[in-house]
């Protein structure tokens, strides 16, 4: 039986993982390939990108890996051009890059504000800027921006840059979706809630905030916050991205798909 992305070409930005296990981008790239897509795995860490591509090829899929600084326009342009050289089209763009630095507006250095905006927001702008013209010429495509429930509520952790960048990404998603709807380019966002991923595990700031530096205590506290009783994982995000990337979502654009175990339904 054909996969849900059979014959499609996908570019996954942030396809590596910052540590052992499955990050959102890594799981998404592998799932896209399992559903039939050819995948370009892009990550600032070349080894992490190659690891994901190797997993895909080891399972019989088609994948290439490139190193890409998503905040550098020349790097992003070269990455999109690599997709076009290899496969001649780009059907799916998954913007899965993001960092979270703990600190409110008083504590944060200005340079940190600029750095997080470059990585979390400018990266999506640059990737869409380069990919959308190709999608328009070929008759359509699907863009999935990985946002966060931090875009729509306070999560208990003071990280002003994360809130601001993810909220901006949501609105950039909506407005771009409207602009390119006539060209059959769909643009949607996935809003993960509390997830158990290598990025969260590696964040000293989050571990300090939740568990006084104890990662296992952080997991326990975060599990307890979720109505379902546990955090999600990278595959929950990947499955949401798969739906939005697939033709099953052909009439869906400009939405924010919340994947959070019910936490945004809570009053506090």
What are the residue numbers of the active site? 162
Residues 6+ apart with CB under 8 A from 218: 200, 206, 207, 210, 211
Strands 38-43 vs 9-13: parallel, antiparallel or unpaired? parallel
Phi, psi for 18 (deg, rounded to 5): -75, -10
Q: What beta strand segments (E) does the chain contain?
A: 9-13, 38-43, 63-67, 92-95, 141-146, 185-192, 256-259
Distance of CA 6 to the CA centre of its chain: 21
Beta bridge partners of 258: 191
Show the tokens assigned to 158.
Answer: 């003071």
């Amino acid at each position: 039986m054909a996969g849900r992305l059979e014959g499609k070409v996908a570019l996954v930005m942030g396809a590596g993982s910052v540590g052992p296990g499955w990050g959102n981008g890594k799981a998404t790239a592998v799932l896209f390939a399992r559903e039939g897509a050819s995948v370009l795995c892009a990550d600032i860490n070349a080894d992490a990108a190659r690891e994901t591509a190797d997993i895909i090829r080891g399972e019989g899929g088609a994948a290439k890996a490139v190193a890409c600084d998503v905040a550098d326009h020349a790097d992003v342009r070269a990455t999109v051009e690599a997709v076009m050289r290899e496969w001649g089209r780009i059907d799916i763009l998954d913007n899965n890059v993001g960092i979270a630095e703990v600190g409110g507006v008083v504590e944060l250095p200005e340079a940190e504000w600029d750095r997080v905006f470059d990585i979390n927001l400018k990266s999506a702008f640059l990737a869409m800027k380069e990919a959308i013209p190709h999608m328009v010429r070929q008759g359509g495509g699907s863009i999935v921006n990985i946002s966060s429930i931090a875009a729509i509520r306070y999560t208990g952790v003071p990280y002003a840059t994360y809130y601001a960048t993810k909220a901006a990404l949501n609105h950039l998603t909506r407005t771009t979706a409207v602009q390119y709807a006539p060209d059959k380019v769909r643009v949607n966002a996935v809003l993960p809630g509390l997830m158990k991923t290598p990025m969260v595990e590696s964040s000293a700031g989050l571990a300090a905030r939740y568990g006084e530096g104890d990662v296992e205590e952080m997991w326990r506290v975060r599990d307890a916050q979720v109505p379902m009783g546990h955090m999600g994982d990278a595959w929950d995000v990947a499955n949401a991205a798969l739906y939005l990337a697939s033709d099953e979502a052909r009439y869906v654009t400009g939405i924010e798909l919340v994947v959070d175990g019910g936490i945004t339904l809570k009053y506090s």
